[in-house]
Amino acid sequence: ISHAMTTRPSFDPTTVQREFRLMMSDYIARVAMPELLKILRREAPHVTIEVVASDASMHARIERREIDLAIAPERFLSPDHPFEPVIEDPYVVVVDPANTAIGTAISIEEYVAADHIVANMSGNRQASFEDWFLQNVDIVRKVVVTVPMFSLMPSLIVGTDMVATMHASLAASMAPAYGLRTVQVPENFPKLQEFAQWHRLSSQDLGLIWLRGKLHDVFDTVRVRGID
């Protein structure tokens, strides 16, 4: 009985009617969901998706099986359930083109001196990956604006001398629309690696296995534009 409750005997994407609940940041939603939805509309027309915003409830919601899949950096994953890498994304710094104080790259001294816009989605001041890294190397940046979503940062840079540290794939999809420049981050800045995680009892779920495969296809197509 337990086996029957935790696995599905077959999965035909062309006919199945099913909803998948996916927890992710607005960054992942912006770079992955458009292509994923194109695939689903073409290959699984009766599958529906609910995107749930990432927050501190991720572990509990995976444990209660309220979400089918979560995508997050490794430090936010639950130790009790399986996961796999889906994307490794470098960081870039986004600036207004009129900000001539910063060239094609930004030194660590310029980075520390700049006024920063940062994203904090958790509502409890939980450090983002780049904040966590900077704290671990004893670098303090001057934060002047905090917003609840990564995708809000580009529009707030326009016409100012502020800077924002962004995932390169997100910056590539948004910066051109606002006429912004992207520049190289200081040396030794790490890349962000995001992972997909699911409940251990769903590991043999053929539908979820299929969806994970499609997510890998999507992330494999993510191309980061060159630095201006």
> 18 with 52, same domain?
yes
Q: Return the structure tokens found at 105.
A: 């790259």
Is residue 208 assigned to a domain? yes
Full residue range of the structural domain in which residue 166 is found: 91-184
Quote the number of domains for the chain. 2
> 178 with 203, same domain?
no
Buried b vs exposed e over 139-166: b needs ≥16 C-beta within 10 Å?
A: eebeeebebeebbebbeebeeeebbbbb
Is residue 227 assigned to a domain? no
23-76 per-position pLDDT tens digit: 999 999 999 999 999 999 999 999 999 999 999 999 999 999 999 999 999 989
121-134 per-position pLDDT tens digit: 765 445 566 666 66
> 152 with 164, same domain?
yes
Taking the whole predicted model, whether its pTM rises above 0.85 is answered as yes
Is residue 69 assigned to a domain? yes
> 160 with 84, same domain?
no
> 172 with 196, same domain?
no
CATH label of the domain that carries residue 105:
3.40.190.10
